[in-house]
């Protein structure tokens, strides 16, 4: 399959979805990249939000359970590692859910704002790796 080619349901499948996260003092503080089709755009966003809003460390962000809010069909797919209580709460709010194995492949390199040190975090779901220098 060629990058950004039309696939099932006429949707674009992107082979990779890189993102740079920037915060004051206006220089990139993280590079996040995901691969694997339809969930590739969700994973960098979730990773950046977990880091910036929840204060999670780089490896904890990558290790966190993942979800995918699917539009057609309208359901939320959860990785098997999500606690059952999360799925029950979503269903109580009227969401249809499903369970899946591993979702996507995400690696990141974070830059410590104080020291400038680059910290790599690799996805345990595959044999991925990330390296900062």
**Residue range 54-78, pLDDT digits in tens:** 889 889 999 999 998 887 788 999 9
**Domains defined for the chain, CATH in brackets:** 12-116 (3.60.20.40)
Q: What pLDDT, on the 0 to 100 scale, is given for residue 4?
A: 45
Task: Give whole-number Cα distances, 98 to 16, 80, 83, in Å.
Answer: 24, 9, 13
Q: What pLDDT, on the 0 to 100 scale, is given for residue 5?
A: 46
Q: Which residue has the higher pLDDT, 85 or 132?
A: 85
**Residue range 3-33, pLDDT digits in tens:** 444 444 555 555 566 777 776 665 668 888 7
Q: Is the pLDDT of residue 34 over 90?
A: no
Q: Is the pLDDT of residue 88 over 50?
A: yes
Half-sphere exposure of 114 (CA within 13 A, CB side): 0
Sign of CA dihedral 103, 107, 28, 56: positive
Q: What pLDDT, on the 0 to 100 scale, is given for residue 42?
A: 81
- Nearby residues of 62 by Cβ (< 8 Å), 6 or more positions away: 47, 106, 107, 108, 121, 122, 123, 124
Return the SS3 of 101. coil
Strand order in the sheet with 16-23: 16-23, 27-35, 105-111, 118-121
How far, in Å, CA of 110 to CA of 120, rounded?
A: 6
pTM score of the predicted model: 0.74
């Amino acid at each position: 399959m060629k990058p950004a080619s039309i696939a099932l349901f006429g949707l674009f499948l992107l082979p990779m979805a890189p993102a740079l996260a920037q915060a004051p003092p206006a220089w990139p503080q993280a590079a996040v990249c995901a691969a694997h089709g339809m969930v590739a755009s969700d994973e960098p966003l979730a990773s950046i939000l977990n880091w910036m809003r929840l204060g999670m460390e780089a490896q904890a962000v990558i290790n966190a359970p993942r979800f995918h809010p699917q539009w057609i069909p309208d359901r939320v797919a959860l990785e098997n590692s999500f606690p059952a209580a999360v799925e029950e709460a979503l269903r109580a709010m009227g969401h249809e859910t499903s369970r899946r194995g591993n979702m996507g492949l995400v690696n990141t390199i974070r830059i410590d704002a104080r020291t400038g040190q680059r910290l790599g975090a690799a996805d345990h779901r595959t044999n991925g790796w990330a390296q900062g220098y």
